[in-house]
Structure formats: C-alpha cells, structure tokens
Amino acid sequence: MVVVAIPGPLQPYAGGRATVELRDSCATVGDALRALGEVFPGVRDRVLTEQGDVRHHLNVFVDEDNVRFVRGLATPVSDGSRVTILPAVSGG
Amino acid sequence: MTGRVAQNGVLLLVGTTKGAFMFRTSGSRSKWTMSGPYFRGEPVYAMAFDGRAGRQRVWAGTGNPFFGSSLRSSDDFGATWTDREEHAIKFPSTSGLALKQIWQIRVGPAGDPDVIYCGVEPSALFVSRDAGKTWTANAGLLGHEHRPKWTPGNGGMCLHTIIPASDGRIGVAMSTGGFYRSDDGGRSWRARNVGVRAEFLPDKYPEFGQCVHKVVQHPSRPERLFLQNHWGLYRSDDWGETWHDIANGVPSDFGFAMAIHPHDPDTAYIVPLESDRFRCVPDAKLRVYRTRDAGKSWKAMTRGLPQEGAYESVLRDGLDTDAADPAGVYFGTRSGKVFASRDEGASWEMVAEALPSVVCVKAAMVTAAPARRQAVRKAGAKRESRTGRVLRGAR
C-alpha cells in the first residue's frame, strides 16, 4: 500500500482527506498519482498538467526524496512508501 | 472585504496580480462601492460579464501559481463562485500543450447567447457553446501552419484579444503572431496584418509575426477596427484586410491599452507609453488620449489625472468603456490605481488608489430586476452542485 499525503488546499478535492491510501499496486510515483487521479480528478488536475507533468511550482516527494532529483514520475515506489505533494517556495 | 456589491448600474470588474475586485455604482456613476478581493493571492488577468439570456454572470480566469489556471463564475456578484473539480480549459493530450494562463474571456454575440470564448497561453482559442459548461480548443488555430513560427513576447505566447461578430467572422490577436481572422466561424484562419509594422524583425512588414497588443471593434460598424501595436497605432475600415497608420499627434505610438466608444465608431481611447524599454507614460504625465475622428488627431485627456511624477503604465486589458450615454471610461494602472470618467474622458476621478497591480478592467451595465437575479442565482448554484463546488466569497 502507498499512502499519498494531500496538501491542505487540495484536500477539498479529495473528499476532505489529508491522506489517501492506494491499495492497487503501484510501481512508480507516476502510477500512484494516476491512481489517485482516477478517484480524485480534481486533485489530478491541480497536481499534473494535461500532458501528465508535475506542475512547475509543486514538489512531489517519495518519502524524503524530491522526485525531480530522482527519476521524476518514474521514481519507484513500494509497499509502505509515502508520497507527499507540497507547494514549492514561490509567489510574489 | 468580500461579498456582494450593489445590484444596479455600472459594474466594474478589476483583475489584479493578487486577486479580483468589483466596483459598483448607481446611475450617476459618482460613488463607487468595492467588494473583494476575490481569489486572494491569485493573478486574475481575464474577467468578463455575461448579461445575455437573463444571466448576471461574472467570469474570472484565475491563475493559481501552484495548482494551475481555473475558470470561475459567479451568478450573485461575487457572493459565491463556482469551483469545478476538473479544470474547464484543458488542451487535448495530442496537442502536446499545457495551459499556462487565461488571458481573455469574451462573451459571444447577442445572437449566440450560449457562446463564450477564452484566449489563452500558449496561444489558442477555446470556445464554449453551452454558456461555459464545456470548452473545446479551436482546431483551426491549434493546427495552424504558422504556429511553429509564433514566438512569445514579454507576457508569454498568448492569444489575448478576441473579436466575435454575428456574421460568422471572428478576429483574434496574439503576441507575437499578429491579427488573424476567420470568415467561416473559426474553421480556418488567415493572417491579416497588411500595413502593420514589426519593428523587431528584419522584414518590417511580414505576413505574420507582428506583436499586436490590442484590437478593438465597434459593435455598430464591425469592419472598423483600431489596433495598438508594439510600436504603431493603426485603423482598419475593412475588417483587418488593410491597416493604416493613425499615430497622429501622440507622444508615443507604443502602448498596450485601447478601448472604443460604445456609440461612436470614430472615437477610441489609448494610454501611450514612452517606449518598450521604459514602459511608463511619457513625461511622467498620466494622459489618456482620445480620438474623435478615427485617428486623424488625438487629444490628451488630463483633468483629474496626475501630471507630474506619474511613472504609471496601463496594460492591454486595463482600459474599457461602459455603454452609458455619455460614455464612462475606466482604467487601472500597474501601481494599483483605478480611475473613472463619466464624461467620455473629459475629467477623471480616482476610484481606488492602492490595489495590487491592475491587469484587467472591464465595465458592464447591470440592469436586471432583483426577482430575476434571485432566480438565476438559484439555478446557477443548483447546476454547480452537480458538477463542482460552490465557494462562498472565494477567500
């Protein structure tokens, strides 16, 4: 099972949940986000662009690792992984 | 401050880099009531009012820096806003494109009361034919043979101007790319930039590639267009087939903002800026220029506007007119000031002096009776409960 931590601003699009447990098997963080998006398309649209890329000012972590510095959406996940979605430092 | 504004008279929609505001005034247009900010912290570059078919609907294109751009609407003047679960404006996956920003929302002609357009970055035209429920990218522009050669200006590669007509013609302008017109309802498009200069290209008069900043059309004379270019002021009397230089007596022909008089196709308004390198009003004087003879001459309108130390600029959607008689003229500055004229530009009053940077000002007449408004509001809220959430105040 992979657990996805939903940031506060996106929790209304995830039925108010702070975490979502994915019971389907996922090999990569991309698989996990796609599985999440099938259940909560509002979260998907706000995390991924229509081309399936992580939005520029969002960071996705597998446990402690920012996937941008690993293998992007191909970063592997395994049973017990925690995927965390967090807004980056940005704004003006 | 959020919530609703008063219900009759002129409605001024003001988009800023940190949210949206509404201003309402009665028939005298002498006292304004502000509401907002809506969408706190989110840039709102596009707003529009749809008063067709009994609606009283405000549209806003919001650009959340983290979660993408959304199209939002309110049927109760900002008390509640729709918040769709899925984003309304999305490029098809086959395009390879992803939405960056909504630059323009434009309701269609009165004869097509369910048609609405959105111009976006990267340059594309989205069309809704069901009053905003569903949206489709215009295939003719998406697959246009010129697309690989359109290049981004400072604001990005955006389609920022939409001119719908009731005879099946549509005009769009983009930076860069220039002005394009369709004569078949949007199926095919042809560049129409004859006479428009491209200062930044070796060929100064190419077929396309101009950096057009804004185009306006008069509703009673659709073939009459005015164009503010990245250097250059032009008029067309043949729906864009040919353009003629009308920079007669202006301190600079560089600028962004342009608006047309609601009743007189010979009268238009601009706010010239010094240059592309110093994008402030010339001589530190905030002046709106008005022509009443279709560009043969321009006159500075200054009464009530700061005439010294004013390093202001007005962006492409920061100037608009209402439909009253005499016409109201409105503009907002990058420094967060909003000015209003209720005498066609002859004199000005400050409506707001310290908003976030203003990027969009749109004026609309609101005249529906209260009973009708309530009915529309309830219907809108019910519809959204099936497709998304309705947020009160959108704080």
Range of the domain at A64: 2-87
Rounded to whole angstroms, how far apart are CA atoms A88 and A58? 5
In a domain, B193, yes or no: yes
What residues have CB less than 8 Å from B304, skipping those under 6 apart?
B339, B341, B347, B348, B349, B350
Range of the domain at B264: 9-389
The residue among B18, B66, B389 with the most chain A CBs within 10 A of its CB, best to mutate, is B66
Q: Report the number of distinct structural domains present in chain B.
A: 1
| pLDDT > 90? residue A68 | yes
**CATH classification of the domain holding A29:** 3.10.20.30
Q: Band of the pLDDT at A36, cuts 50, 70, 90? A: very high
Closest by CA position to B180, among listed B168, B191, B194: B191
Please give the C-alpha separations between residue B339 and each of B1, B131, B298, B363, in angstroms, as whole numbers. Answer: 20, 31, 20, 12
| A10 contacts chain B (CB < 8 A) | yes
Q: Across the interface, which of B64, B86, B98 has its CB nearest the CB of A49?
A: B98
In a domain, B3, yes or no: no
Strands B358-366 and B268-273, by their bridges, are: unpaired
What residues have CB less than 8 Å from B131, skipping those under 6 apart?
B50, B53, B55, B113, B114, B116
pTM of the model: 0.92
In a domain, B395, yes or no: no
Determine the pLDDT at residue A89.
83
Do B210 and B193 meet the contact criterion of CB atoms below 8 Å apart? Answer: yes
Radius of gyration of chain B (CA): 20
- The DSSP result for B81-96, as a single string, is EEEESS-S----GGGT
Q: Phi and psi at residue A18, in whole multiples of 5°?
A: -90, -25
Q: How far is CA B326 from the centre of its chain?
A: 21
In a domain, B86, yes or no: yes
**CATH classification of the domain holding B145:** 2.130.10.10
In a domain, A92, yes or no: no
The ipTM (two decimal places) reads 0.93
- The DSSP result for B295-349, as a single string, is TS--EEE-TTS--SS------TBSEEE-SSSSPPEEEE-TTS-EEEESSTTSS-E
Tens digits of residue pLDDT in A3-20: 999 999 999 999 999 999
Chain A residues with CB under 8 Å of B67 CB are 9-10, 46-47, 55, 58
Mean pLDDT, each 10-residue run in order, chain B (395 residues): 55 98 88 96 97 96 95 97 96 96 96 96 98 98 96 87 91 96 96 97 96 95 96 97 98 98 97 97 98 98 98 98 95 98 97 98 79 38 39 53
Determine the pLDDT at residue B377.
40
Chain A residues with CB under 8 Å of B387 CB are none
| Chain B residue nearest residue A37, CA to CA | B86
Please give the C-alpha separations between residue B286 and each of B17, B198, B270, B356, in angstroms, as whole numbers. Answer: 21, 27, 11, 18
In a domain, A44, yes or no: yes
Q: Coil, strand or helix: which one is B33?
A: strand
- End-to-end Cα spacing for chain A: 38
Cβ of B86 and A41 within 8 Å? yes
Closest by CA position to B383, among listed B208, B138, B132: B132
Q: Across the interface, which of B67, B90, B91 has its CB nearest the CB of A9?
A: B67
Q: Across the interface, which of A45, A52, A92 has its CB nearest the CB of B87?
A: A45
Q: Report the number of distinct structural domains present in chain A.
A: 1
In a domain, B169, yes or no: yes
pLDDT averaged over chain A?
A: 95
Strands B158-164 and B136-137, by their bridges, are: unpaired
* Amino acid type, B98: A
Q: Band of the pLDDT at A91, cuts 50, 70, 90? A: low
User: What tokens were used for B256?
Assistant: 């962004």
In a domain, B1, yes or no: no
Determine the pLDDT at residue B372.
39
Determine the pLDDT at residue B382.
36
Cβ of B86 and A12 within 8 Å? no
In a domain, B4, yes or no: no
Closest by CA position to B273, among listed B238, B319, B224, B216: B319
- CA torsion through residues A16, A21, A23, A28, sign: positive
Cβ of A13 and B85 within 8 Å? yes
Place of tokens 């704004």: A91
How far A84 CA sits from the closest chain B CA (Å)? Answer: 15
User: What tokens were used for B149?
Assistant: 């050669």
Q: Across the interface, which of B68, B93, B97 has its CB nearest the CB of A46?
A: B68
Rounded to whole angstroms, how far apart are CA atoms B190 and B207? 10
Rounded to whole angstroms, how far apart are CA atoms B63 and B101? 6
Q: How far is CA B283 from the centre of its chain?
A: 27
In a domain, B91, yes or no: yes
| Chain B residue nearest residue A86, CA to CA | B66
How far B180 CA sits from the closest chain A CA (Å)? Answer: 26
- The DSSP result for B343-366, as a single string, is STTSS-EEEESSPSPEEEEEEEEE
Q: Across the interface, which of A42, A58, A87 has its CB nearest the CB of B86?
A: A42
Rounded to whole angstroms, how far apart are CA atoms B66 and A87? 6
The answer to whether the bond into B326 is cis (omega within 30° of 0) is: yes
